[in-house]
Structure 1
């Protein structure tokens, strides 16, 4: 009985050791994973790139529509002009 309780108590700890899953292809429809190297770079680094059609480059005070599109690449930068978020939404 004690052994069973001990095993059941250890299961959550073992689950925590499971490696993080790779992003699902559906979560990366816009190709954001290919642009993650831009994180922490200045916004001006985007000037040298050809971005996919429909990409939104969003600053801290920019207004954007609230529609959720997993096929649209969004790149956000902060007030210092540093890219801090890249994703499909």
Structure 2
């Protein structure tokens, strides 16, 4: 009989762990306008269309307010984590810069 009581108590505690917390399909709120350009990407839009050479990427890094730069090639998988202090540099098949964003 003690095993039954113990088993019931374990079941109650396990079910209690299933309640509370945010629903898994709730998305975080979108970043504010100041967060969307925290890395200074808007001031760098003149680089669009330029070749993504090491020299160009180094200039982007020094001219931006970004703590880090993420270079994203065509069809490259990237994580979905948002970092306001990161400059994303996306380039196409011809190594031309096609997008500069924070995140």
TM-score by length of 1: 0.62
Q: What do the CA deviations read for 1:27-82 (whole angstroms, capped 9, x no partner)?
A: 21011022111001111252551614421011113332221122211010001111
Taking a change above 3 Å as real, the CA distance of residues 59 and 26 of structure 1, as seen in their structure-2 partners, is same
Work out which of the residue numbers 66, 69, 75 in structure 2 matches 1:55. 69
Question: Matched residues in 1 for 2:57 and 2:89: separation?
Answer: 13
Work out which of the residue numbers 46, 49, 52 in structure 1 matches 2:56. 46
Q: Which runs of 4+ in 1 moved over 4 A?
A: none
Q: What's the Cα RMSD here?
A: 1.9
Q: Determine which structure has more spread, i.e. the larger CA radius of gyration.
A: 2
Question: Matched residues in 2 for 1:32 and 1:50: separation?
Answer: 9
Count of aligned pairs: 66
Q: CA deviation at 1:86?
A: 0.5
TM-score by length of 2: 0.54
Where relative contact order (Cα < 8 A, 6+ residues apart) is larger, the structure is 1
